[in-house]
Amino acid sequence: MTIEIISNIALPALQNKLLNKTAQKRVEHVFKHMEGPFALTSSFGAQSAVCLHLLTQQFKDIPVILIDTGYLFPETYQFIDQLSERLQLNLKVYKSHLSPAWLESRYGELWSKGLSGINKFNQIMKVNPLNNALNELGINTWFSGIRNSQSDTRRNKKVIEYKNQRFKIHPIIDWNDKDIFQYLKKHNLPYHPLWEKGYVSIGDTHTTQPLSANGSSQNTRFFGLKRECGIHE
């Protein structure tokens, strides 16, 4: 494999190169020229089938990292099983060292304790397990399905980032909802089961609301106090 050496000077050039490619060609370029091991992180959220299909078409056994907080919707666990079987995913499930019961015994319901409580919950149950996964699997380049149009916090995200000694690739960063719909339809892929019930961003049961609850997609998570769980910040 040819390893493309990236410096702070070369990164913008690679960004422009990838930006002018299709999502499929972006993925192909990264697999051919950048440093592995590779992984895809997935929340198995509303539109996650797109990236899961996109990546596994070119790298069937790519590790798919799922962070299981223990508070996901029953429909999410069913969706995980459905897509894992259909796409034959190489699923890697990581969890916090604290179970939900132990977490609540020690700290109470952190998600109900304002922004500081939410941040602490996310660090313990999401960010730390993800860091453990990336380190344990030795990942140098990881893919994520986030998009600019999803929120203000993602509006300025690029196709490629370099952070914490790793490359982070967003192959569908510039896709809109129509692009997502057309890809899902073309490949006969499903939305998350809760999509039909008005959930546009799906995380834990206690911090996720349907769009009808407040009318703003950015406020459907974490009671409108924040949008990101910390993984993409």
Catalytically active residues, by annotation: 229
Task: Tokens for 169, please give them.
Answer: 């690739």
32 vs 70: CA distance, rounded Å: 36
Which sign does the torsion angle of CA 1, 57, 83, 69 carry?
positive
- Alpha carbon distance 62, 159 (integer Å): 19
Which two tokens mark 89?
């995913």
Query: CA 122 to CA 223: how far, in whole Å?
Result: 14
Q: Which amino acid is present at 189? A: L
Q: How many CA atoms lie within 13 A of 140 on its CB side?
A: 11
d(CA 188, CA 118): 36
